[in-house]
């Protein structure tokens, strides 16, 4: 009968399968727990992203309506002004009065156009800020969760 050397590293007697299965079980349980935690975080992030997209779409829709209404108001104002000017042109008695009326109209329209452009620009800026806010907030929240 052969004797097993105790200092032999390749000896099968030194291998204890029960210790291996315990360490493997611990490793598997830790891996499963980490996977569950990662899945929970991913699920929460996905739900948050869905809410962000929904809020962004609603904001974009409301913003486009606001800008559209502003544009309609501009068109209405310009149409009314042009019609009033045409009526005034029909009552002109002289060429000098025509030039004076036309010059005043062009000057007034230039001023109104600048005001209208500023108004639309301000509205567009407000809409863009509202539109970017949910995405910015979500990004900041995501970055803070990664730091933690």
Q: 95-147 and 17-90 helices cross at what angle (nearest 10)?
A: 170
Q: What does the pLDDT look like over 93-104, one tens digit per residue?
A: 999 999 999 999
Please tell me the predicted confidence (pLDDT) of residue 69.
94
Is the model's pTM score more than 0.85?
no
- Torsion from C-alpha of 72, 73, 78, 80, nearest 10 degrees: 110
DSSP secondary structure string for all residues of 41-109 = HHHHHHHHHHHHHHHHHHHHHHHHHHHHHHHHHHHHHHHHHHHHHHHHHHT--SHHHHHHHHHHHHHHH
Q: What does the pLDDT look like over 21-41, one tens digit per residue?
A: 777 788 888 888 899 988 888
**19, pLDDT greater than 80:** no
Q: What does the pLDDT look like over 58-74, one tens digit per residue?
A: 888 999 999 999 999 99
């Amino acid at each position: 009968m052969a004797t097993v050397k105790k200092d032999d590293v390749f000896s099968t007697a030194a291998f204890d399968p029960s210790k291996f299965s315990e360490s493997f079980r611990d490793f598997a349980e830790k891996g499963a727990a980490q996977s569950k935690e990662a899945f929970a975080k991913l699920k929460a992030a996905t739900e948050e992203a869905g809410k962000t997209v929904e809020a962004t779409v609603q904001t974009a829709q409301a913003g486009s309506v606001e800008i559209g209404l502003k544009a309609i108001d501009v068109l209405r104002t310009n149409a009314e002004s042009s019609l009033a000017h045409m009526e005034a042109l029909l009552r002109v008695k002289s060429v000098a009065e025509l030039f004076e009326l036309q010059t005043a109209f062009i000057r007034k329209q230039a001023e109104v156009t600048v005001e209208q452009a500023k108004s639309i620009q301000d509205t567009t800026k407000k809409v863009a800020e509202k539109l970017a806010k949910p995405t910015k907030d979500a990004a900041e929240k995501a970055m803070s969760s990664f730091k933690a």
